[in-house]
Structure 1
Amino acid sequence: MVPTLVGIGASLIAPKIMSQFRDQKVKVIHAMPGRLRLQCDSWKHPIVAEALGKQVQSHPLILTSKASEITGSLVIEFIVPHISQDELDEIMTNIVQIASNAILHKDAMLMNGMKNTLQFIDKGIKKQTNGFADFDSLFILFLLGKGIQSFGNAPAFSASLLYWSYSIIKGDSNR
């Protein structure tokens, strides 16, 4: 009865593990007795690579682990030449979980792109105005103008635009 329950449990858990593995698009690059090389594009980040390199090595069956942020790969050397399928599944689950947790600590690529674009625009405005204006000052002028213009028709909305302008000028971080 116990082996049957374990088998049922494994059949329910294994698809979830494999779906996480596929979601990260982890590829087995090379496998040989006692050694495994995995690769994933989402591991091409210093935070993720560092977490994988340090935390994967803490598994009792793993002798060494080395992650590369450049290639997004992870090389694992085991303490024995052969491991069971269950042990490999456990290790892979651990790797996927470590990478998933580490990804939460890196900056979002979309936000980085928006920040870089805003910095590029800001530098362009400063160059064109010889340092007289930047993006923030022009944005504040826009908000002030819209707030004054719409005060007669929508005083509540206008007040919020004026307050937002004031908050930006004062440097209020709670806006």
Structure 2
Amino acid sequence: MIQTLVGLGVSMAAPNLMKRLKDQKVQVLHAMPGRVRLQSNHWKEDKIAAALEECFSQLPIINNVQASGITGSLLLEFTTPHLTSEQFDEIVQLAVRTSIDTYPHIKSKMKTSMKQGVDSLDDFVKKQTSGKVDAETLLALWLLFKGTTGFSANPAFASSLLYWAYTLISRDGDRS
């Protein structure tokens, strides 16, 4: 009778747990007694993998932990062959919280992409002009042109364009 009630409780909790896993996009790739491999695309970052390993290696229930920033997977080996659904839920929640807490320490992928695009444009301009002009110089020239030609229509905006051009031209340091 008790086993039936426990089984009924687990079967009622399982859909709720699976819904949370789906919302967090955490997948159970492999599970067997004493071991589970979780995966999330949100964990595909070396800093997150290191944070997950550090966090889970401190838990007494964890015997071994391996995280991969390439695959976004987290392998956990437990000191016990079985976990309750509550323990498993807490482990998944801890993994999600750990990854979220690590986000501020990761370089922005969009900014990195934008920088690569600007660097590619800069390289292209330098190649086409034998190194005489770079993308920043072209931007400064465009700002100077728009600022001087638009002064009569909108002096405030034109002044800001001229100031931005001045700032680009007069600042120290060469981006190379």
Partner in structure 2 of residue 152 of structure 1: 152
| TM-score, length-scaled by structure 2 | 0.82
Q: CA deviation at 1:135?
A: 0.6
Q: CA deviation at 1:162?
A: 0.9
Partner in structure 1 of residue 44 of structure 2: 44
Partner in structure 1 of residue 129 of structure 2: 129
Q: CA deviation at 1:18?
A: 5.0
Distance in 1, matches of 2:42 and 2:138, equals 37
Give the SS at the match of 1:104. helix
CA RMSD of superposed structures (Å): 2.2
Partner in structure 1 of residue 104 of structure 2: 104
Post-superposition CA distance 1:72-100 (Å, at most 9, x none): 11100111111211111111110110112
Partner in structure 1 of residue 71 of structure 2: 71
Q: CA deviation at 1:38?
A: 0.8
Q: Does 1:59 align with 2:83?
A: no
Give the SS at the match of 1:153. coil
| Maintained 8 Å contact 1:48/1:102 | yes
| Maintained 8 Å contact 1:38/1:74 | yes
Partner in structure 2 of residue 140 of structure 1: 140
Distance in 1, matches of 2:75 and 2:18, equals 20
**Cα 1:160–1:56, aligned 2, differ >3 Å: closer, same or farther?**
same
Distance in 2, matches of 1:152 and 1:138, equals 23
| Maintained 8 Å contact 1:29/1:38 | yes
Size of the aligned set, in residue pairs, is 159
Structure 2 counterparts to residues 80-91 of structure 1, below 5 A: 80-91=80-91
| TM-score, length-scaled by structure 1 | 0.82
Distance in 1, matches of 2:105 and 2:40, equals 17
| Maintained 8 Å contact 2:39/2:74 | yes
Give the SS at the match of 1:115. helix
Question: Structure 2, unaligned stretches of length 5 or more?
Answer: 1-12
**Cα 1:133–1:17, aligned 2, differ >3 Å: closer, same or farther?**
farther
